[in-house]
Structure formats: C-alpha cells, structure tokens
Amino acid sequence: MVFLIQKTLIFAIPLLIVALAGMFAERSGIINIALDGIMIFGAFIGAVFALNIRKIPWFVDHNQLTFLLAMLVAMLAGAVFSLLLSFSAIKLKADQTIGGTALNLLAPAISLFLIKVFTGQDMLEMQTVRNSAGEVKDFGFVLLNDNLGPIGRVLFDKAYISTFIAIALFIILSIFMYKTKTGLRLRACGEHPQAADSVGINVEKMRYLGTTISGALGGLGGYIYIATVANGTATGAVAGMGFLAIAIMIFGNWNPIGIAFGSLLFGFLKCLGVVYSNLDINGDGVYALTKLNLPMYFYNMVPYVVVLIVLAFSAGKSRAPKAEGIPYDKGQR
C-alpha cells in the first residue's frame, strides 16, 4: 500500500506541477503549449548543473542541498526560456500556438545540440559519483532514514524531497491565485483584459507574470521528471509529459483542485500499469491482475481511456479562461 502511494506520487508530482504551470499561463490569457519544451529545457539545465556541481565532493555529501539547488536552477532556466514565449505573445502579439510550437522544437534542439557538443553522446546521465569519503553515491537523492519510526517511514522513506516541495509550492501558489490581490488581477486578465485595463491593471505585466511563473514551474516539473521518473537521464525529451500536463489542466477545468484530482487519478492509474504484475491486493499471495493475462499495453491504455470517459460524462462544464489565446489589443472593445 505504501509502495503504491509512493509510486503514484512519483508519477503524479511532475504532472501536478506542470499542470499548475499551464493554469498560471492560461488564467493570465496566454496559451502555453510550450510546456513540453520548457520542461525539456529546465530538465537539461538542471541536469547540467547537478552533473557539474557534483564534481565537488562536498555537494555529493550534501545530497539534499544539491537537489534543492538543481531544482532552483531548473526553475530559473524555465522562467528565462518562457520569456521567449511571453515576448512574442505579449509584445509582438504573435500567434501563441506558433510561439509555443517553436519553443517545443527549440528546447530539444538546443539541449541535444549542446549535449552532443560537450559529451559526444545523445544523452546526459547523472548517475553515480564518489563523495568525500570515497563512498559511491548514486543520483537518487532520496531521503533515506532508518530511524524514522513507522509513521515517518510511510511518509519519508524512499520519498524524494521534491515531492514535498512540489506539494508545498502547489498549495502556496493556489492560495496566491485565489486569495491575493495580484492573483485576482492575473485571473481578470485572462477573462476580460479590456475590463481589467479600464480599472488600471497593467495587462502586459500580469501576463508576463503568469507566463513567467508558468515557465518556472514547467522547468521545475521537467527537472523533477528526469530526476525521479526517468532515473536521472536527460535525453532532450520528457515522453510527452508536457502535453499530458496540458490535458490534465483542461481535465481539471483550469482550477487547482481539479488539477490535483486529475494528476493523482492519472498518476495512480499510470503506476497501476507499471506495478500490476506484482500487485497483491488483499495480501493472500495471489497476484490477481496477472491472472487476467492481459498484456501491459492494456494497463498502459487505462489512464487515457478513463480520462476520456470522465470527460465524456462531465462535458459541458468547461471553464476555459475567456480571453486565452487572444493577444491583448487596447483598441478593441
């Protein structure tokens, strides 16, 4: 059971953070189809940073700190990269789908180009290095502690530090979005920018803010993805995770609670597809799901099919921001 929860979280956390990223951009009025690219870029820069800083043994000794620093760097990288999108979409009023698609092409191109220039390979691995004591430390910067006690073990054993930070960030940013003045203004710019402008809100600034937060979260999500799900290998791809996160955001109706529900549901179903073969539901030593003799493709498919079914039944309640995707033009009514 503990195992299942942990696995679910590993899949759900990147989705959760990146779907929130999408929400921040779209609620401010910018469609961020570039999330996949931003994830790739953040993951790449974060991996380069972690790889290089871990050449110093002190940072290998302080694994958690290194992990945190790499997360910060990835956030920064994502934020800077997203400026390309916000500049074209806000300043030049370019089509946001085009800008986003360009970024989705640009991120793997830059990452792979540089990875190839510096390593001669097509991927970047940040696996095992030795610490100051000469012990081999692998990349999995996990919180591992034997004297945590039973409750502590459920929560912290083999869990990544990023999980807790991501959940905390998710809660803080959701409160920011719904309970602060800036959050309200940001949402207004996604619904009716002309009205927002008429009461003195700087629409451009708000949209820059939304997209930049979105970029930072996207970069973070990308780094968490390669550090946890992909076992520390940056390959210039995140297996379509960014697009999936956009789907989860739409599924969650552009609000945090829906997104949290969506990503947990999806993460759970996804992890079921990975662990089904050794899943003992009632503890009688019988692996019930293997007896059905269905191929893994079936279990892989389940999360997507379930999402479609849920969508079909909850259709018609979509609450997309009204002004998303439309460049703000002061002269328009």
Question: Which residues contribute to the site for other proteins (CB under 8 A)?
Answer: 84, 88, 92-95, 97-99, 101-103, 105-106, 108-110, 112-113, 116-117, 237, 239-240, 243-244, 246-247, 250-251, 295, 297-298, 300-301, 304-305, 307-308, 311-312, 315-316, 318, 320
Closest approach of other proteins to the CB of residue 3, in Å: 23
Pick between residue 95 and residue 191 the one whose CB is nearest to other proteins. 95
Closest approach of other proteins to the CB of residue 312, in Å: 6
Measured distance CA(12)–CA(267) in Å, rounded: 4
Pick between residue 89 and residue 173 the one whose CB is nearest to other proteins. 89
Pick between residue 116 and residue 158 the one whose CB is nearest to other proteins. 116
Closest approach of other proteins to the CB of residue 100, in Å: 9
Q: Are 306 and 298 in contact (CB under 8 A)?
A: no
Pick between residue 132 and residue 318 the one whose CB is nearest to other proteins. 318
Pick between residue 131 and residue 233 the one whose CB is nearest to other proteins. 233
Closest approach of other proteins to the CB of residue 118, in Å: 10
Closest approach of other proteins to the CB of residue 242, in Å: 10
Measured distance CA(210)–CA(207) in Å, rounded: 5
Closest approach of other proteins to the CB of residue 304, in Å: 4
Pick between residue 3 and residue 113 the one whose CB is nearest to other proteins. 113
Helix axes 161-179, 203-224, angle to 10 degrees: 160
Closest approach of other proteins to the CB of residue 59, in Å: 26
Pick between residue 88 and residue 162 the one whose CB is nearest to other proteins. 88
Q: Hey, what amino acid is at 40?
A: I
